[in-house]
Chains A and B, each alone.
Chain A
Amino acid sequence: MSRTLDVAVIGGGVSGVAAALAASGSSEARGVGLFEASSSLGGMGVRAQVNTICGLYLGDEQPRLANGGLCISFEKALRAGQKSDGLAKMGRVWVLKHEPAALGALLRSGLARRSREIDLYLNHQVKAVERCADGFRIQYSNDAGQLHTLDARALVDCTADAHLAPFLGVGRERHQADRLQRPAIICGIRGMKSGALTDRFLLTLAVDIAKSVRAGLLSPGLLGATFRQSPQPGLAFVSLDLDPLESWEPSDPVSVHKTLKEGESLIKELFGFLRDRYDAFAYLEEPLLPEVLGVRESFQWRGQYRLSGGDLMSNTSFSDEIAKASWPIELREKATGPSFEYFQDPCSGASIPVRSLRSAYFPSVFMAGRCLSATHRALGSVRVMGTGLATGQAAGAAAALVARDGPTAWESADGLAEQVRYDLKSLESMPPFPSS
């Protein structure tokens, strides 16, 4: 007989790490397992080289953290650990730029400090989940491809694609396939002249690229390449939204692979152009390619409540609030670039109810990050990493309570949310992320 975990978190992106940390700290959990299919933590924020954390802050003049709990020590540690402060204003909102490897290392150090409570299964992919007497039986494969099983009382799906729903035999939700947010490729740039990326130079690049595309000197797919300096000296990133060639299917590995390859060839073309044309880029190294394609939107769970764009825009306040969204609704569906819709009251953020993190079918299954229950528009806001940390920690804390007391004890969303808020507050006195 294998032992039974209290909480199994599937997926080790920012939301999954936050879920595991909160599940292990907020109640006397008897065991938390975190399963990650790849060899690293951080998901999109590390392997796709997403390099800006959005949704951490509220406020216009001065940034204030939108959420408490783990977010406090996370933000402090990430800022302190970087060569230069990554705090910056993008449009009307504050962001924290990060270096992907530094994010991965920080998440790992947070888990290492809780290694007695959390079993980390890196390189372990969950292949199937079924219901059993104690809750759920998880089947996963190890590095060598061997299958194992483990039982857990409660689950948190942080796979970004709601993978656990089909495993458990229920449907996932998804926006119209041809109206999904566009995927993107993000590559590191090394070997440019230091200090080259001034505002003015960025504008020059934008015009040159646009005109070269129009003159037929560059592929149209390069229209929209966006450059950003990293807090790591000598490193910058370029990101390019892609128009997948055929029908885009984010859950089909073949479609994802084709799109990534298409992106890589565009980036190589761009690097050639930059090297030939600008002194600052004359000694550009080969692009630092991402491990995975940047997928912005795929499937979500059906939760007890599906958060909508209207809820966010009007700052609807829910009595079972467990986190605040602060990023505007950012939609990147069209080749003309993104659109941003700011909440009516941007200073107070928008409320996320615990019901949108709890499965409509299984009261002991929670979800966070990119696969929580939200409409296409709402997801344009809540998918960002800062909000993912906040929904992750709330889902982890909720799952720990349900594992300890059984789902019926926590049937009421208001009661559950109140205890989750309390538990997350107590986490602040034992921060998992190192303070210096």
Chain B
Amino acid sequence: MDEELIRKVRDIVHESVLPLPDSFHSDDDLFHEGLESMALMQLILALERELHVTISPEDLGRENFSTLSGIARLVSRKSP
């Protein structure tokens, strides 16, 4: 798994939607941490903007969005 990408995703989540404690691990559940739909909307827009990917409704699903590593996997699949 691309540690660099996970770190970028973590920064985006932390800066733009949900402050994460240092102890938050890349496989910990974001919904458990308090991610909800408002934050999710902002997160999708921020990911598209900062990482130059397009996320479509088919990419949705808790498996892709519930952890930092899940989001990183999705982004790397989507990257050109």
Binding site for B on A (CB under 8 A): 91-92, 199-200, 202-211, 213-214, 223-227, 241, 328, 330, 335-340
Which of chain A's residues have a CB closer than 8 A to the CB of B57? 204, 207-208
Query: Once A and B bind, how many residue pairs between them come within 8 Å at the CB atom?
Result: 80
Given contacts A210-B44, A339-B18, contact A241 B32 (CB under 8 A): no
Determine if B16 is an interface residue (Cβ-Cβ < 8 Å): yes
| A12 to B: closest C-beta gap in Å | 30
Nearest opposing residue in chain B for A226, CB measure: B37
Binding site for A on B (CB under 8 A): 16-19, 31-42, 44-45, 55-57, 60-62, 65
The 5 closest A-B pairs by CB, nearest first: A224-B38, A337-B39, A210-B41, A340-B34, A337-B38
Q: List 17 other contacts, CB 8 Å, given A91-B35, A336-B38.
A: A91-B33, A91-B36, A92-B33, A92-B34, A206-B37, A208-B57, A223-B38, A224-B38, A224-B42, A226-B38, A330-B34, A336-B17, A337-B17, A337-B38, A337-B39, A338-B34, A340-B34
Which of chain B's residues have a CB closer than 8 A to the CB of A340? 33-34
Contact A337 B36 (CB under 8 A): yes
CA distance A328 to B65 in the complex (A): 23
Contact B60 A223 (CB under 8 A): no
User: Which of B17, B37, B44, B60 is most buried by chain A, counting CB atoms within 10 A of its CB?
Assistant: B37
CA distance A200 to B17 in the complex (A): 20
Chain B contact surface mostly: helix
Contact of B62 among A199, A207, A208 (CB under 8 A): A199
| B65 to A: closest C-beta gap in Å | 7
Given contacts A91-B32, A338-B34, A340-B34, contact A203 B41 (CB under 8 A): no
Given contacts A91-B34, A337-B18, A339-B18, contact A206 B41 (CB under 8 A): yes
Contact of A224 among B19, B41, B44 (CB under 8 A): B41
User: Which of A207, A208, A226 is most buried by chain B, counting CB atoms within 10 A of its CB?
Assistant: A207
CA distance A376 to B42 in the complex (A): 25
Contact A203 B65 (CB under 8 A): yes
Contact B37 A205 (CB under 8 A): yes
CA distance A241 to B57 in the complex (A): 24
Can you show 25 pairs from A to B with CB atoms below 8 A apart? A91-B32, A91-B36, A92-B34, A199-B62, A200-B61, A203-B61, A205-B37, A207-B44, A207-B55, A207-B60, A210-B41, A210-B42, A210-B45, A214-B45, A223-B41, A224-B41, A226-B38, A241-B38, A328-B34, A335-B42, A336-B42, A337-B17, A337-B42, A339-B19, A340-B34
Which of chain A's residues have a CB closer than 8 A to the CB of B39? 336-338
Contact B41 A209 (CB under 8 A): yes
| A243 to B: closest C-beta gap in Å | 12
